[in-house]
Structure 1
């Protein structure tokens, strides 16, 4: 079974972000992924999971007015 979410970490700014695996696989082959924070192409692929909470377990989030806010 394919994982739904895949984590990526930028090797330039050291920030992490999560993308849907289906969207990454459906990209044309002449395109590339870039960091949404610094536009660097130097990315490290993390683990793929089916549960979004597993991707976010290193940080602590709190719900504020219906939106998730990072506390730590």
Structure 2
């Protein structure tokens, strides 16, 4: 498994949720969050990186984040 996100994943991390996932991201799961919301977990078929689309606790807007295990 790659330890570093590919260029496509790096461009997505930190972007707002209205930016669509890139072509190599496959939805892996929907997770419950502590704030009664949900997060959508994606796995990249190129670099195997896990990326999550989750609402920010402060403003409620979705954002793409690297999922650290």
TM class by shorter-chain length? under 0.3
Q: TM-score, normalised by structure 2?
A: 0.25
Q: TM-score, normalised by structure 1?
A: 0.24
